[in-house]
């Protein structure tokens, strides 16, 4: 089968579509025929060597790329319950110790990282949900805000930020979104009540709209201390990028959230998608061998929605 891999770290030119054996589902794993796999910032970090330099992946001759997947189960290993061959599923490959990712003709995932795909949506749309939907949902869970509180979301037009705005609004939070001026209609459509265009003096700009500051912030870009300035003393701050968590000034609770695959939480998100309470956004779909083009487009910025590889 074909799989996107790198054999050396570098720019998009090191990406290769290699011919590799079809992987086999072990105990508590499933083999998925891949119909769509998104391209995410973490793929750029894997390809450039940032993850390896951080000591997060073992040295290997060849590293597979891709976290999100939508497809059809082809085989289930021993011990798998509730997932059967022929079933349309989505899942998240969050393990850095395995040789191949989801950007391939087939992918093996742990069964507890896989759930049924949302009905009535394309595989390209469905594949945009796991990584960024779960990151937003899990970070919001940890922020633990009661309805009526005010939440600042930075990078609100992006994948993590967009899901965070929608999920927070659905929880009854008042969302203050930070994005580029031209993204105001988009983020308001996603559920933001208040909008702040990108500015270096974020604390001041947010406090002008929300006297006393917001209760919490979910920083989906690397804004850090300037976003914490907008949070009231004793509030909470979630960062999702390594090194982006500022010191917990003024009695705030600051944490870095790292995604973990969770089929149960993912199926909650699927239910929201099926109720039209969560929007899946695809910026474009392309064949596997255009993966380098996808990396270049994502690195340039300005995409609204995810690029999806379709084997």
Ligand X SMILES: NC(=O)c1ccc[n+]([C@@H]2O[C@H](COP(=O)([O-])OP(=O)(O)OC[C@H]3O[C@@H](n4cnc5c(N)ncnc54)[C@H](OP(=O)(O)O)[C@@H]3O)[C@@H](O)[C@H]2O)c1
State the residues that interact with ligand X by CB under 6 A: 40-42, 131-132, 135, 154-155, 157-161, 178-180, 198, 220-221, 223, 240-241, 257-259, 301-303
Question: Rounded to an integer, what distance in angstroms lies between the CA atom of residue 264 and that of residue 242?
Answer: 26
**For ligand X, the closer CB: 118 or 133:** 133
Please state, in angstroms and as integers, the Cα–Cα distance from residue 65 to each residue in 13, 57, 112, 295, following that order: 14, 12, 20, 12
In the complex, least distance from residue 41 CB atom to ligand X, rounded to whole angstroms: 3
Q: Report in angstroms how near the CB of residue 184 gets to ligand X at its nearest.
A: 12
Cβ-based nearer residue to ligand X, 183 or 290: 183
**Nearest approach, Cβ of residue 24 and ligand X (Å):** 28
For ligand X, give the closer residue by CB, 171 or 198.
198
Contacts of 111 (CB under 8 A, 6+ apart): 28, 29, 30, 76, 77, 79, 80, 81, 82, 83, 263
Encoded tokens for 246: 């500022």
Element (H, E) at 167: helix 159-170
Q: What are phi and psi of 29, to 5 degrees?
A: -130, 160
Structure tokens at 83: 């997932």
Report the residue closest to ligand X, judged by CB: 158
> Using alpha carbons only, what angle is made at residue 154 by residues 274 and 226, rounded to the nearest 5 degrees?
160
Task: Give min distance, CB of 66 to ligand X, in A.
Answer: 13
In the bound complex, what is the minimum distance in angstroms from residue 300's beta carbon to ligand X? Answer: 8
Nearer to ligand X among residue 60 and residue 142 (C-beta)? 142
Of 256 and 267, which has the nearer Cβ to ligand X? 256
Give 88 or 142: the residue with its C-beta nearer to ligand X: 142
Least separation in angstroms between residue 306's CB and ligand X is: 7
Please list the alpha-helical segments (H only) found in 177-238.
Answer: 184-190, 202-209, 225-228
């Amino acid at each position: 089968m074909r799989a996107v891999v790198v054999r050396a770290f570098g720019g998009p030119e090191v990406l290769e579509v290699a011919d590799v054996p079809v992987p086999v589902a072990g105990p508590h794993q499933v083999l998925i025929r891949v119909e769509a796999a998104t391209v995410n910032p973490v793929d750029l970090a894997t390809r450039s060597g940032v993850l390896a330099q951080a000591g997060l992946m073992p040295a290997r001759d060849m590293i597979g790329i891709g976290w999100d997947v939508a497809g059809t189960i082809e085989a289930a290993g021993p011990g798998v319950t509730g997932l059967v061959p022929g079933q349309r599923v989505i899942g998240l490959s969050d393990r850095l110790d395995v040789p191949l990712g989801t950007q391939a003709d087939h992918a093996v995932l742990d069964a507890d990282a896989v759930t049924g795909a949302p009905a009535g949506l394309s595989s390209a749309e469905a594949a945009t949900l796991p990584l960024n939907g779960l990151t937003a949902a899990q970070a919001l869970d940890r922020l633990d805000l009661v309805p009526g509180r005010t939440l600042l979301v930075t990078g609100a037009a992006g994948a993590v930020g967009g899901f965070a705005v929608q999920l927070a609004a659905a929880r009854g939070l008042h969302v203050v979104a930070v994005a580029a001026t031209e993204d105001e209609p988009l983020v308001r459509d996603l559920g933001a009540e208040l909008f702040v265009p990108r500015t270096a003096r974020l604390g001041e700009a947010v406090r002008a709209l929300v006297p006393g500051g917001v209760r919490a912030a979910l920083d989906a870009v690397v804004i850090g201390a300037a976003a914490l300035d907008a949070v009231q003393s004793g509030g909470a701050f979630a960062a999702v990028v390594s090194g982006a968590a500022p010191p917990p000034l003024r009695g705030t609770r600051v944490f870095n959230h790292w995604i973990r695959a969770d089929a149960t939480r993912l199926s909650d998100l699927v239910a929201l998608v099926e109720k039209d309470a969560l929007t899946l956004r695809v910026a474009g779909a392309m064949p596997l061998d255009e993966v380098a083009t996808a990396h270049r487009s994502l690195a340039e910025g300005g995409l609204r929605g995810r690029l999806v590889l379709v084997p």
